[in-house]
Structure 1
Amino acid sequence: MQTGHGNDIYDYADIRCDFSSNIPYRNESETIADYLKSHMDTIRNYPDPNSRKLTSQLADFHAVSPDNILVTNGSAEAFYLLAHLFQHRKSVIPYPAFSEYEDACRTYRHEISFLPIGSLQDTPHFEVDMAWFGVPNNPDGTLVSNDTISRFCSKNHHTCFVVDAAYDELCPRNESVKELQGRFKNLIIVHSLTKTFGIPGLRLGYIVADQQIIDGIRSLRPPWSVNVLALEAGSFILENRNRLLPDAASLCAESARLQQEINALPQFEVTASPSNFFLVKMTEGTAAELKQFLIDKSGLLIRDAANFRGLTPQHFRISVQDEVWNHQLIKALKLFYTRY
């Protein structure tokens, strides 16, 4: 497992605002926590190893059979289960990308090839067993359209396409990758309930895929991998989804404003993103130096993105926060280059 993901607050004291994590700062995690407080007695029993209640709720929400759903211990478990099912096969991973795709594939001895994320949509044929990418992609926010994904699946029957939809609901647009579910046997969509709803500590995700793939994965997983509180939270979310969903449109409007402000600073170049997070490249210094400076001087935490394949020591990632903290970040970024 690669270290140095976002939200590495355990390594630092006195973090006042976390720009490093892609979790939306406007979320209803307190509401979910309050609900779980009244259901703590559920820990006296083992969780349902088949997650039947939540699976049924998710099947209804996605209009698929429960046989097409597998609830997992976060997206990460889903990636490792899928890599295990296809062990010793060939995979392609566009870069930069979430490191767990590559880590999972290496764990299960995949032969891995890479291509720049900008080349993905123009790729006509895939001579691999699996292709992995996010929609929107982490860390740069690249979007692959539903038409493109449909073309991939229909023209490459021998390839399974693993689409990480962790941030799908945090990126307002006219289409959702959810609309493709059930249309292609070689399309596997991995969802996260923890990112959208601000509960990453609970670890809760799920896979929507063809029944044959779900059956194969189910046989590989350890029993009770999803704890009872996570299952309870998932059911509560599905029952109250509309009121618990963050306002993605306003969140991403704030992100766009922050991107413009940072890009206006002469020492920073922003990769435009339609999501609540985005990449920035420094023209001088390193992201590691900037990260430590921001921690020491302002208690602000950013994501040093140097350990993403294809990026440089000058890259860092930002997830938008509220207006007050965004203003503090801009002030601190300006101060970084005037500190001498």
Structure 2
Amino acid sequence: MTPHTPAEPDLRHHGDAEVRADGAGLVDLAVNVRTGTPPPWLRERLAATLADLAAYPDGTAARAAVAERHGRPVDEVLLTSGAAEAFVLLARVLTPRHTVVVHPQFTEPEAALRDAGHQVRRVLLSPAEGFRLTGDAVPEEADLVVLGNPTNPTSVLHPAAAVAALARPGRTLVIDEAFMDTVPGERETLASVRELPGRVVVLRSLTKTWGLAGLRIGYVLGPAPLIAALAAAQPLWPVSTPALVAAGACSTPAALAEAEQAAHELALHRDHLLKGLAAFPEVRVHGEPAASFVLVELPGADAVRDRLRALGFAVRRGDTFPGLGPDWLRVAVRDEATTDGFLAALAVALGDARGDARGDARRDAPERP
């Protein structure tokens, strides 16, 4: 008998695909952008840039604002067209011999590395260990290591000390902190740490907290020589004037205070979701979620996802993440009323699933004489 080989995950599948095309009218729990954003004050700032669109973008002020926000020199900051551009730049500029991507995590880094011709070794963290990063997880010979913190889709926040321990002379350590601003106090960030061995690169995004997915703005923090090399690989004027204004505006003390308040509110909403999920015996949450989404395991999750769509809710499939499979779903954290609606729909979807299972059992049972 030929052994079954699992299908290779679709690294290019993202949560927005769950709410496009036939997703009109669905409650979006598949995309991790904070609802109600951009806030009015930010929309006004962006609208005001329309009068300046005849001029070429100048990132000087925005770059300085981001540098000040993280306590770094300006030459250690690179503004990018979303964090996704940074993965492509790193894949094109770096020349590693042994590349490791720690999974489950956002798939775009691996996709970019493979597109650039790199061979990628996957290190899979275990749900049995709460998807925690262990000291021996990454092989010593790895000279490029990529991981997320907090990690998408697991929502696990790795201790900064555990992440920093991966730094080595001769190694480039890339940390995707796209969701770090959803954590109160950003308590495990390495964005402002500059003295670790090797090259430590931190990627940030303004998409999640500020609702700027359509604007495309992110940035890279790292050693000045590497930042210069990445900048040389960018096209001219890679970040638009509105995006540059957003980068500066979202780095001010007032904006950071607003983001911190949003992170605290998010934590309360996440606790409400977790308490609701705990009422379903078949639903398991591994580890301690810390970001704006929760990863759940339940038998037949792919069918449950379809039932939830029929009931008006879109959630993110998990089988496109290496290390997961069809029994996983990612659910965005929303306000309590939205969560209650989702939990009610989940009860119906799971009830249907249990009913189908009972029906299958009756059909498969041998007939009595």
Q: TM-score higher than 0.5 here?
A: yes
Residue in 1 that maps onto 2:213? 200
Alpha-carbon deviation of 1:98?
0.5
Matched, 1:242 2:256: yes
Q: Distance in 1 between matches of 2:329 and 2:72?
A: 39
Cα contact 2:12–2:111 (8 A) shared by 1: no
Aligned to 1:266, the other structure's residue is in SS state coil
Residue in 1 that maps onto 2:292? 276
101, 113, 130: which one aligns with 1:93: 101
Gaps of 5+ in 2: 1-9, 126-130, 356-369
Cα separation, partners in 2 of 1:326 and 1:218, compared to 1, 3 Å? same
Q: Deviations over 1:221-277 (max 9, x none)?
A: 111221111112222222342354152122122212212211321232122412221
For residues 165-314 of structure 1, what are the structure 2 equivalents within 5 Å?
Answer: 165-172=177-184, 175-178=187-190, 180-184=192-196, 185-239=198-252, 240-245=254-259, 246-271=261-286, 272-283=288-299, 285-287=300-302, 289-298=303-312, 300-314=313-327
Aligned to 2:208, the other structure's residue is in SS state coil
Cα contact 1:160–1:187 (8 A) shared by 2: yes
Alpha-carbon deviation of 1:196?
2.1
Aligned to 2:79, the other structure's residue is in SS state strand
155, 158, 162: which one aligns with 2:174: 162
Q: Distance in 2 between matches of 1:307 and 1:88?
A: 25
Q: Distance in 1 between matches of 2:179 and 2:132?
A: 21
Residue in 2 that maps onto 1:43? 53
In structure 1, give the amino acid aligned to 2:340.
Answer: H
Residue in 2 that maps onto 1:316? 329
Q: Distance in 2 between matches of 1:180 and 1:63?
A: 6
Q: Distance in 2 between matches of 1:243 and 1:148?
A: 27
Greater shift in the superposed pair: 219-228 or 200-209: 219-228
In structure 2, give the amino acid aligned to 1:337.
Answer: L
Counting matched residue pairs gives 333
Cα contact 1:27–1:244 (8 A) shared by 2: no
Matched, 1:57 2:57: no
For residues 73-84 of structure 1, what are the structure 2 equivalents within 5 Å?
Answer: 73-84=81-92
Greater shift in the superposed pair: 121-130 or 220-229: 121-130
Residue in 2 that maps onto 1:70? 78
Cα contact 2:29–2:333 (8 A) shared by 1: yes
Cα contact 1:15–1:295 (8 A) shared by 2: no
104, 122, 147: which one aligns with 2:112: 104
Residue in 2 that maps onto 1:135? 149
Q: Deviations over 1:1-49 (max 9, x none)?
A: 834311332223433421111222364434312222222112222212x
Residue in 2 that maps onto 1:33? 43
Alpha-carbon deviation of 1:89?
3.3
Gaps of 5+ in 1: none
Cα contact 2:191–2:221 (8 A) shared by 1: no
Cα contact 1:121–1:144 (8 A) shared by 2: no
Q: Distance in 1 between matches of 2:62 and 2:100?
A: 32
In structure 1, give the amino acid aligned to 2:283.
Answer: F
TM-score (norm 2): 0.84
Cα contact 2:272–2:336 (8 A) shared by 1: no
Cα contact 1:146–1:180 (8 A) shared by 2: no
129, 133, 153: which one aligns with 1:120: 133
Alpha-carbon deviation of 1:293?
2.1
Aligned to 2:267, the other structure's residue is in SS state helix
Cα separation, partners in 2 of 1:75 and 1:10, compared to 1, 3 Å? same
Aligned to 1:317, the other structure's residue is in SS state strand
Aligned to 1:38, the other structure's residue is in SS state helix
Alpha-carbon deviation of 1:168?
0.8
Aligned to 1:269, the other structure's residue is in SS state coil
Q: Deviations over 1:109-131 (max 9, x none)?
A: 22211112347332275312210
